[in-house]
Structure 1
Amino acid sequence: MKGIVFPGDRSAVLKEFPEPVPGPGEVVLRIRASGMCGSDLHFYRGSVDFAAGDGVIQGHEPCGEVHAVGPGVGEAMARVGQRVMVHHYWGCQACRRCRAGWPQMCETAPAKTMAVTAHGGHAPYALVPAHTLLPLPDELSYRAGAAIGCGTGTAWGGIKRLGDISDTTTVVFGQGPVGLSATMFAAAMGARVIAVDIDAARLRRARAFGAHETLDPAGTDLVAAVGELTRGRGADVVLETSGRAGQDALSVLGTFGRACFLGLPGQVSFSAEQHYKKQWTLMTSWTMSTIEQARCADFAVAHRLPVDDLYSHAWTLDQAAEAYAWFDRQADGKGVFEFTD
């Protein structure tokens, strides 16, 4: 079979790999949709901090159906033909973090990560441990399951870190796929959402995903604009998803405000002496737990959220070079590789 690899020079190359065979405790997933995530671009561009190597199949947002199961995998864990999402990390399964559903924070050894230290989903088939699978609700498409597996799930994870955001003014910085997902969730939870981005098309999409107000920082005094929209109080909640607006995020945060920083590289600095009276709560968030991934999917179903609409482009595997050249421009929505019979 063919899979997409990144040599690290802004190219996406198809390379031949053997079809996987499941060992004990493993399953082979037939990929139906494999999402393109913003973090892919670190590997695509060859960032020294994100070195996957060109021998690893990319794609850490896979979704599909169980194709084959290995020894020891009972029907309670996985059955052939089952529609599933994947939690794309796996650890020791024994430490307190793994048992709590956070294998990416395994305390005994570095976690395995799809598209970094294990083959990912930009191929017709993927091999994963059975315990990484989560049922895909019948109401959700494979596209939606792929998005929830990382990008959309990352937005959900950040919001869950922040706690109850109903009846708040929430400012979401960046309206790429993660930011749009955050806007969608926050609006569905009862927040008044102010979406911030420098791209007019993304701001229009933010309105469609529930944003009540939109602001372009390139031509707007953000502090003044947010102040006007909040009667001078500032934002109750801020999510920074772009990785480039950390200081702007802090500048609009009101007293007793809560801010969560999701985007990379995400440089943020502040003086405690200048700001300690504001009683802020500042935090970071990294993807989500297995438990929250399932809850995210259930929430999307219960609120009939338009997760599929996050995607603006769909590609076949043979279009890998074209797809990532487009994605590298970061001027549109989310992309997905789709596989049919």
Structure 2
Amino acid sequence: MSKKMQAAYLPGNSTVVLKDVEIPVPGHGEVLIKMKSSTICGSDIRAIYREHLGKGPEGYQNKVCGHEPSGQIVQCGPGLRRFKEGDRVIVYHISGCGVCNDCRRGYMISCTSKYRRAYGWQRDGGMAEYLLAEEKDLVALPDSLTYTDGAQVACGFGTVYEGLEKIGISGNDAVLVVGLGPVGLAACMLVKAMGAIKVIGVDTVQERVDIAIEKGLVDHAFLSDANAAAKILELTGGMGVEKSVDCSGHTIGRQLAVRATRKWGKIVLIGEGGTMELNPSPDLIHDQKTIYGSWVTNIWRMEELVERIVRWGIHPEDLVTNRYTLDNASDAFALMAEGKCGKVAVVFDEEIK
């Protein structure tokens, strides 16, 4: 094995910088993972690629980018308790302290300890040939799923699944998904797998609407406009949907998610950023609606999701519309930043399995 590897960094001016860096050596409780697939998350574009929005310990600290990694363990440090060399794994993308209340619940995303470090933000991430990870952050990847399936679970699908579990999805539900970027497409795929009777998707970008329709993820999808709520009511017998999922991160999208939901319905907000302006009495209180906020997921639920994806016979990789090698990472990030594609993956082998 060469002692050098190629790795990608984001200077914050809508470019990608490739560097040759040392391959790390795993210490106690750590593993070295040969990267197989690393997908690009919208939060990377919003908060790192275009400009470094986060500050202090929560900000990007000039580390190897990428927080949706999946690969194979090639070297183990001492003290491992579960995983071994050759195992196929997903990396839960926040490494928490492990001993606070949030970490003990599995929500390392909510860890506030000084020891918390997110892969691709405060510690090196997956846009490199190798990744150093802690064993406690790993989720086993079954042979029946591809590495790109695994990369999708590492953030996007895990995040969506958490939100859907908060509102509950069943065969009784018509579900509205607002925003059909990669997270919204994941929501549509999971909602269908969980048995929703009708899935309606809306977006302001025609290309994203087309992807949702072409991939069979929705029963109805259309461009969002001033008549969107009326269209949704028409599709639901004038009642509105039982459940809504906002992946837009925009006040107009969020207003639609709330107002197109029927009495006693539930809404979950997943899309980051933006604002939200509502009229509480007519929009929520009088119709007895409930809004949930949901941020990433916990690691045990991510393991549960992997098991259920296998049971449902779905493949998150199907939402990847474009694949690049690491030396073309600049093109991969530029395409993702345009916001007109599905998921974009950086792959490290000619055949991903």
TM bin, normalised by shorter chain, reads over 0.9
Are 2:70 and 1:63 equivalent residues in the alignment? yes
Shift of 1:21: 0.5
Name 2:164's counterpart in structure 1. Answer: 159
TM-score by length of 1: 0.94
Q: Give the Cα separation in 1 of the matches to 2:216 and 2:296.
A: 21
> Structure 2: 5+ residue runs without aligned partners?
none
Q: Give the Cα separation in 2 of the matches to 1:283 and 1:109.
A: 28
Are 2:314 and 1:287 equivalent residues in the alignment? no
Name 2:7's counterpart in structure 1. Answer: 3
Name 2:322's counterpart in structure 1. Answer: 313
Q: Find the residue that maps to 2:310 and give its secondary structure.
A: helix
Name 1:236's counterpart in structure 2. Answer: 242
Name 1:31's counterpart in structure 2. Answer: 35
Name 2:338's counterpart in structure 1. Answer: 329
Per the alignment, do residues 279 and 87 of structure 1 end up closer, same or farther by CA in structure 2, a change over 3 Å counting?
same
Shift of 1:109: 3.9
Q: Give the Cα separation in 2 of the matches to 1:266 and 1:189.
A: 29
CA RMSD, Structure 1 to Structure 2 (Å): 1.6
Q: Give the Cα separation in 2 of the matches to 1:296 and 1:266.
A: 28
Q: Give the Cα separation in 2 of the matches to 1:313 and 1:130.
A: 30
Identity %: 32
Moved more, 81-90 or 164-173: 164-173
Shift of 1:31: 0.5
Q: Find the residue that maps to 2:42 and give its secondary structure.
A: coil
Q: Deviations over 1:157-185 (max 9, x none)?
A: 11111123431111001111111110011
Q: Find the residue that maps to 2:286 and give its secondary structure.
A: helix
Q: Give the Cα separation in 1 of the matches to 2:264 and 2:128.
A: 47
Name 2:264's counterpart in structure 1. Answer: 256
Name 1:197's counterpart in structure 2. Answer: 203
Q: Give the Cα separation in 2 of the matches to 1:256 and 1:152.
A: 26
The amino acid of 1:203's aligned partner reads: V
Are 2:215 and 1:214 equivalent residues in the alignment? no
Q: Give the Cα separation in 2 of the matches to 1:163 and 1:107.
A: 28
Q: Check whether the contact 1:183–1:209 (CA below 8 A) recurs between aligned residues.
A: no
Are 2:123 and 1:115 equivalent residues in the alignment? no
Q: Check whether the contact 2:106–2:298 (CA below 8 A) recurs between aligned residues.
A: yes
Q: Deviations over 1:267-295 (max 9, x none)?
A: 22323333311111101111111111111
Name 1:94's counterpart in structure 2. Answer: 99
Q: Give the Cα separation in 2 of the matches to 1:39 and 1:176.
A: 12
Aligned residues: 337
Name 2:286's counterpart in structure 1. Answer: 277
Which aligned runs of 4 or more in structure 1 are off by greater than 6 angstroms? none
Q: Give the Cα separation in 2 of the matches to 1:110 and 1:250.
A: 38
Q: Check whether the contact 1:180–1:209 (CA below 8 A) recurs between aligned residues.
A: no
Q: Check whether the contact 2:109–2:296 (CA below 8 A) recurs between aligned residues.
A: no
Shift of 1:110: 5.9
Q: Give the Cα separation in 2 of the matches to 1:138 and 1:332.
A: 28
> Structure 1: 5+ residue runs without aligned partners?
none
Q: Find the residue that maps to 1:215 and give its secondary structure.
A: strand
Q: Check whether the contact 1:32–1:338 (CA below 8 A) recurs between aligned residues.
A: yes
Q: Check whether the contact 1:102–1:290 (CA below 8 A) recurs between aligned residues.
A: yes
Are 2:313 and 1:304 equivalent residues in the alignment? yes
Match of 1:265 among 273, 295, 312: 273
Per the alignment, do residues 223 and 87 of structure 1 end up closer, same or farther by CA in structure 2, a change over 3 Å counting?
same
Q: Find the residue that maps to 1:321 and give its secondary structure.
A: helix
Q: Check whether the contact 2:185–2:217 (CA below 8 A) recurs between aligned residues.
A: no
Q: Give the Cα separation in 1 of the matches to 2:334 and 2:208.
A: 19
Q: Deviations over 1:94-114 (max 9, x none)?
A: 222212211121254462101
Name 1:172's counterpart in structure 2. Answer: 177
Name 2:155's counterpart in structure 1. Answer: 150
